[in-house]
Amino acid sequence: MDKIFFLLHMFGTAALGFYLILPFLVGSTQKLSTGAQEGAVNVMRVANRIAQYGLVVQLITGGYMMSQGDYAVIWMIIVTVLLLGMFAIGGIMGKPLKSAMAGIREKRDIGADMAKLRTFSLLLAVLLVVMIYFMVYPI
């Protein structure tokens, strides 16, 4: 059973890999044509939703594996706070994605939405890198 949960945990990790490339996608989106911007933002929106499901998988499988192992309490707290932070930022990022999509369709400036997306994507990437660090080097 442990191997199945570990495999599911790795699938969840793969879904979160999107957050590592997201800052680069957001940075290059404004250089695209209007139609391509709409497609890129739509892809980001769908991929963010998939990554959110990956976070749910991480929460369930990671929680199970933590209950079966002998980990330091501080490590469990840090990892849980990082995961909840990723949940929060990924969820908050949904509004600027929708707003940017509407702005592209209405042919208005989406600079403010893209700035928010850039900030959120950088925060998510940093949180994921820190999470990976704590997974590789537990306390």
Q: What percent of the chain has pLDDT over 90?
A: 88
Residues 89/75, Cβ–Cβ less than 8 Å? no
Q: Is 108 helix (H, G, I), strand (E, B) or coil?
A: coil
**Average pLDDT of the segment spanning 79-103:** 96
- The predicted-structure confidence for 37-58, as pLDDT tens digits, reads as follows 999 999 999 999 999 999 999 9
Domain ranges of the chain: 2-136
* pLDDT value at residue 69: 87
Contact 13, 122 (CB under 8 A): no
State the pLDDT confidence band at 139, using cuts at 50, 70 and 90.
Answer: confident
